[in-house]
Amino acid sequence: MTNEPIPEMGGFDEASLDKAFAALEQQARADAAAIKGDEDVEAYRLQWLGRKQGRLNDVSSRWLKAAPAEAKKSLGQRFNALKTTVEQLLEQAAGSGPSDAALAAEAIDITLPGTRRLLGAEHPITRTMNEIVSVFAALGYSVGVGPEVETDFYNFESMNFPPGHPARDTQDTLVIANQDRRPLRDRLLLRTHTSPVQMRTMEKQPPPVRIVIPGKVHRNDAQDATHSPIFHQVEGLCVDTNITFSDLKGTLDHAMKALFGSSVKTRFFPSFFPFTEPSADVQISCIFCGGKGCRKCKQSGWIELLGCGMVDPAVFAFAAEKQPAYDPKKISGFAFGMGVERIAMMKYGISEIGSLFAGDMRFLNQFA
């Protein structure tokens, strides 16, 4: 870097000015050519353009001030030209980027593996629920949902559980506190099944209806290997003219074969639900022993899997209050409801329902 002080000016004629400025420009170019890194760029800027000690500042204070009036214009022009040159040199040097050494220090090894992000995966309950839903979607069913905090009316009364009816006791209900001043039908509870969404659907939509409703339900049950106070159901509802029990049997037989394999058989046992008449429990041939009898099916060869039945006319009567087309003389339908955990546990060989809710990655990773 040029260090020698700016010399005194011998004379201010054109030839002397040319010579003096040419010498300065040569120095400025040589200094710029020697720049190697960011630090050199800054040193160069200070050396040449620094406000107090920069060389151009010196030129201005020594030469410009000493110049006779008639030489000032010519000197000023040369000064400005030199300044522009220095600024351009500086810009080029700064733009030429970091030095090789600086680059080497910052270099990364692109052959190293990147940061791995854990990919999320469907929970086995969600996956099973989606599987069940898609079996029915393929049959033309639409998908609906409803609220988890439900009124007594939708959860019980409109599903044909009259107030005080003993059938209510079969679904140990968790109720929301401090609602004694409300009429019973408006009191809130955690829905004990997805069936209330049958009524919500019919109130919104006249027949025909084909819908499946996946969702979470709550019961005041003690937890054991196969029970949990929170679990999931998929509800189904089909209403149209001339829907018969054969349609119900055919639909569910197909669904069980789609879920568990085409060799699975189904059978229907009389049962009771307030909102269906007749009602049935559906059993499938044991998927573990093929029906021969084993520990899982308690040697019976059959496993009970879901509830179903023909929609009770009393339920249609509640729907008809909002949608008169639900006239049980003109239409009929079937409904069914299945527990998702139970199906997931069978499909994946899970023996404790609690492992589905524990959030243990060692368990869940097996399904990722």
We find the least distance from the C-beta atom of residue 322 to ligand PHE, in angstroms, to be 20
> C-beta of 306: minimal distance to ligand PHE in Å?
7
Place of tokens 């090894």: 109
Residues 6+ apart with CB under 8 A from 352: 225
**Nearest Cα to 27, choosing from 44, 2, 4?**
2
Question: Smallest distance, Å, CB 335 to ligand PHE?
Answer: 4
- Sites of contact with ligand PHE (CB under 6 A): 193, 195, 235, 273, 276, 307-309, 335-337
Q: Three-class SS string for the chain?
A: CCCCCCCCCCCCCHHHHHHHHHHHHHHHHHHHHCCCCHHHHHHHHHHHHCCCCCHHHHHHHHHHHHCCHHHHHHHHHHHHHHHHHHHHHHHHHHHCCCCHHHHHHHCCCCCCCCCCCCCCCCCHHHHHHHHHHHHHHCCCCEECCCCCEEEHHHHCHHHCCCCCCHHHHHCCCCECCCCCCCCHHHCEEECCCCCHHHHHHHHHCCCCEEEEEEEEEECCCCCCCCCCCEEEEEEEEEEECCCCHHHHHHHHHHHHHHHHCCCCCEEEEEEEECCEEEEEEEEEECCCCCCCCCCCCCCCCEEEEEEEEEECHHHHHHHHCCCCCCCCCCCEEEEEEEEHHHHHHHHHCCCCHHHHCCCCHHHHHHHC
Residue 76 or 229: the one with the smaller Cβ distance to ligand PHE is 229
| Identity of the residue, 326 or 336, whose beta carbon is nearer to ligand PHE in the bound complex | 336
Give the nearest distance from C-beta 368 to ligand PHE in angstroms: 30
C-beta of 78 vs 219, nearer to ligand PHE: 219
Nearest distance from residue 315's CB to ligand PHE, in Å?
10
Considering beta carbons, is residue 54 or 328 the nearer one to ligand PHE?
Answer: 328
Structure token pair of residue 308:
């179903």
Closer residue to ligand PHE (CB): 47 or 155: 155
CB of 292 to ligand PHE, least distance (A): 29
Q: At residue 295, what are phi and psi to the nearest 5 degrees?
A: -65, -40
Nearer to ligand PHE, 207 or 309 (CB): 309
* Closest residue to ligand PHE using C-beta atoms: 337
Q: CB-wise, 28 or 212, nearer to ligand PHE?
A: 212
Query: Minimum distance from CB of 308 to ligand PHE (Å)?
Result: 5
Backbone angles phi, psi at 215, to 5 degrees: 180, 170
Residue closer to ligand PHE, measured from CB, 28 or 310: 310
Owner of token pair 């019919």: 202
Q: How far is the CB of 358 from ligand PHE (least distance, A)?
A: 24
277 is in an annotated binding site: yes
Binding residues for Mg(2+): 277
